Amino acid sequence: MDNAADRQVFYISDGTAITAEVLGHAVMSQFPVAINSITLPFVENESRANAVKEQINALYLKSGVRPLVFYSIVIPEIRDIILQSEGFCQDIVQALVAPLQQELKLEPTPIAHRTHGLNPGNLIKYDARIAAIDYTLAHDDGISMRNLDQAQVILLGVSRCGKTPTSLYLAMQFGIRAANYPFIADDMDNIQLPAVLKPLQHKLFGLTINPERLAAIREERRENSRYASMRQCRLEVAEVEALFRKNQIRYLNSTNYSVEEMATKILDIMGLNRRMY
C-alpha cells in the first residue's frame, strides 16, 4: 500500500479516531482509487496538531497531490491548524450537523463527545459492559456451565466455527453476556443437547460453517490431523445441523460473515437490544 500513485488519506481525531477511520474508509470505498492511509488519534493540543499539519504538507510536497483528510476535532484552535494544511479536509460529523440543525431548529453545542470515551454519565453502563466481557470469558468454550441462566445468548457449534470471536464481539461491542458451548469430535456418535441447556432453549443459537472452510481453518491449527480432515468436518457439521433442527434451535452459517455481521444478525434474530458504547 506504499505505491507512490496511491492517494494519501488521513483519519484524524481528538479522540480514538475509530469513527473517522471507519466512515472515511466507507467513503473512499465508493471510489475506484487505491489509498494509503494514516490514522492519527488524540490530536488534542497545538503542538501535535502542528506536527500533523507538517506531515500532511510534507506528503503534498513529495507527491504533488493533495492528501485527503477526514477529521473530527472539537476545539476550534486545534481544528484550524489542520484546516490550514494543504490537505483536502472533510469534517466527518459537521457534514451531518448542518442539515440536522435546520430540522431540529436547535443550535449545535460542540462538545468533546468522546464517542468511545468514559464519563460519569456512562460509567455504570461501561462497568456492565466489562462485566459482560468477564462473564463471556468465564463461559467460553463450555469452561463453566454454572450460571448459564444469566447468559443472554448461548452459542452452540463445532470446534472452530466462530463461537469464541462472535461471543467476545457480542460482549465487547454490545455488552451482551454470551456463553458458548462446543460439540466435540468424540461425542459425534451420540450427539446430544446437554440436559442443563434444555430449559434454556430460548437462549440457544447455533453456528454452522461449510465443511471446506472448517477444514481449512482446522488445518492451520493441526496440520494433517483427523480433526482437520474433510471427512471429519463433514460428519461434525452434518451431525450438529441435525441436532439444531431436531431441537428447533435457530442457527446461521458463519462461512461468509465476519464476527461483526454474525453478532448483529444474532441480536437481530433473537430480538436482543443493542447498547451503544
Q: Collapsing DSSP states into helix, strand and coil, what is residue 251?
A: strand
C-alpha cell at 53: 499539519
Q: Collapsing DSSP states into helix, strand and coil, what is residue 254?
A: coil
Beta bridge partners of 155: 180, 205
Give 198 or 221: the residue with its C-beta nearer to a second copy: 221
Contact 171, 133 (CB under 8 A): yes
Binding site annotation covers 164?
A: yes
C-alpha cell at 221: 491449527
Binding site annotation covers 161?
A: yes
Give 111 or 195: the residue with its C-beta nearer to a second copy: 111
Give 99 or 195: the residue with its C-beta nearer to a second copy: 99
Name the pairing type of β-strands 88-91 and 251-253. Answer: unpaired
Contact 154, 205 (CB under 8 A): yes
Binding site annotation covers 160?
A: yes
Binding site annotation covers 72?
A: no
Q: State how far the Cα of 249 lies from the Cα of 168, in Å rounded to an integer.
A: 21
Shortest distance in whole angstroms from residue 104 CB to a second copy: 6
Shortest distance in whole angstroms from residue 126 CB to a second copy: 6
> How many Å separate Cα 183 from the centre of its chain?
26
Binding site annotation covers 158?
A: yes
Shortest distance in whole angstroms from residue 61 CB to a second copy: 18
Extended beta strands in 60-203, E state: 68-72, 88-91, 153-158, 178-183
Give 96 or 230: the residue with its C-beta nearer to a second copy: 96
Shortest distance in whole angstroms from residue 257 CB to a second copy: 6
Shortest distance in whole angstroms from residue 268 CB to a second copy: 6
Report the C-alpha dihedral over residues 192, 196, 201, 205, rounded to 10 degrees: -70
C-alpha cell at 66: 493533495
Give 169 or 251: the residue with its C-beta nearer to a second copy: 169
Binding site annotation covers 162?
A: yes
Binding site annotation covers 234?
A: no
Annotated binding site: 157-164
Annotated binding site for ADP: 157-164
